[in-house]
Structure 1
Amino acid sequence: MSLWEGIAILLSGVGAGTINTVVGSGTLITFPTLLAFGLSPVTANVSNTIGLAPGSFSGAWGYRAELRGRGARLLRLGTASLVGGIIGAVLLLVLPSDAFDAIVPALIVLALVLVIAGPRINRWLARRSPDVGERGFVWPAVAGAGVYGGYFGAAQGVLLMAILGIGIDDDLQTHNATKNFLAGIVNGIAAVVFVAVADVDWKVVPLIAVGSVTGAQLGARFGRKLSPHVLRAVIVVVGLAALASFIW
């Protein structure tokens, strides 16, 4: 790996950590970067998941004020993310690589649609009447998002924000903090599985990890001041580039 390649991967980790903390879908920054430098899709996904796991927890720590008093909820929903993340990671490893090559373009398209539809979803959620407690579908829905996150991960945060916003009566900043915590569990448990049995590129993992931790703190500190339209535009451009590379 050249110096410039290392710098590019590090900076992609910073961008992914920032975007994951503020919006979600940072994988659409790091994953195509790793593909561009010659990693196979599965190895890139595995290495990317391991590298981004510390950034998710860093983002949750940056939003720790919003998580005060939510310990019981985090524990309950954390078990859903744990179960889902394990299932998703195992699916990535047991399904043939051809299946991943076929599924990833569809996942990228789904992620881009969710990112583009994000503002409309948020406006709809803002118009909701307050609801009581936590609806019964939240736990299995979070587990399903965990399966998706353990398998690929792009737009996992967007999925979680939609689930939490619909199913739990709380403010969006608290949902964002909860999203970071749950995504950290999914990425963390998937990383444990991948370290044990998968083919990991250990040259890129530390670069993404350092970048994502740094970016998560930037996102937590300055995220509310950044234009979500600009962030979504970056995600869409990079995602389309990744989609084009798969089709090519």
Structure 2
Amino acid sequence: MFTGIGSGISSVTELKSHKEDTIRVSILSIAGAVGGSLLLTLAPASTFQRVVPLFIFMAGCLMLFSLRQDSKPFLFAKKQSQSLLKSFLANSAILLVGIYGGYFGAAAGIMLLSILSITLTAPLPVSNAIKNFTSLITNLIAIFIYTLTIKVYWLMVIPMGIGMFIGGYIGPIIVRRVPTRPLRICISVAAFCLAGYLFYGAYFK
């Protein structure tokens, strides 16, 4: 939530210039987050631990795939975006990430950013801004459901919230200034490292 607040303040320009995409992605993510949060009250998150590394690895691969945009801008150009099948697949992927985010959440932001990077006709700073704003909305929904159904460790919220607000505010500023290609590569490498760490924890501990 605090990451979304900080980045939202810092990304007003990007969000205003892509209102329709922001609203669409937010609605799909909210619907998914509600389902995922309710699912968590029925089944423990530990049931997801063995497949999470695969999801994160796939997100890293998608981010690398989006590098093609550097030489051939925007995979889904205006004419291509008219395809109902491609729109359905893109919206379904966003919805599924919303469900995952509400249920487990590890690296959900990387997954959503990877999907937006190859489906939106927008530069990376815009995709990042929409991802951060969407994360804020879905986390608000999730925390509301959690407070009614499970125990929340509120004493951890304050220090984490301060750090996440600072990171959320600084992040968009950095993304605007760093060249897109090396930034995508860094995000992919981070995703692969996280996938490896979680894979080790799920299968060897």
Q: Paired residue for 1:131, among 62, 78, 90?
A: 78
Aligned partners of 2:40 and 2:103 also within 8 Å = yes
Aligned partners of 1:145 and 1:160 also within 8 Å = yes
Is the aligned partner of 1:70 residue 2:18? yes
Aligned partners of 1:165 and 1:175 also within 8 Å = yes
Residue 146 of structure 1, CA deviation: 0.6
Aligned to 1:154: 106
SS in 2 for 1:154: coil
SS in 2 for 1:204: helix
Q: 2:54 is aligned with what amino acid? A: V
- Rounded to whole Å, the distance in 1 between the matches of 2:131 and 2:55 is 19
Q: 1:130 is aligned with what amino acid? A: A
Is the aligned partner of 1:199 residue 2:151? yes
TM-score by length of 1: 0.66
Q: Paired residue for 2:138, among 173, 186, 192?
A: 186
Q: Which moved more, 1:165-174 or 1:132-141?
A: 132-141
TM-score by length of 2: 0.78
Aligned partners of 1:56 and 1:181 also within 8 Å = yes
- Rounded to whole Å, the distance in 1 between the matches of 2:33 and 2:130 is 16
Q: 1:131 is aligned with what amino acid? A: K
Q: 1:81 is aligned with what amino acid? A: S
* Unpaired runs of at least 5, structure 2: none
SS in 1 for 2:196: helix
Once the two structures are superposed, what CA deviation does each residue of 1:154-196 show, in whole Å capped at 9, x if it has no partner? 3323332343344432223222211111122122211111122
- Rounded to whole Å, the distance in 2 between the matches of 1:125 and 1:159 is 17
Aligned to 2:31: 83
Once the two structures are superposed, what CA deviation does each residue of 1:114-161 show, in whole Å capped at 9, x if it has no partner? 22x244222234423622467632433322221111112233233323
- Rounded to whole Å, the distance in 2 between the matches of 1:70 and 1:237 is 32
Aligned partners of 2:10 and 2:172 also within 8 Å = yes
RMSD: 2.7
Aligned partners of 2:30 and 2:141 also within 8 Å = yes
Q: 1:241 is aligned with what amino acid? A: Y
Q: Work out the number of aligned pairs and report it.
A: 192
Aligned partners of 1:84 and 1:150 also within 8 Å = yes
- Rounded to whole Å, the distance in 1 between the matches of 2:115 and 2:192 is 22
Aligned partners of 2:76 and 2:120 also within 8 Å = no
Residue 64 of structure 1, CA deviation: 1.7
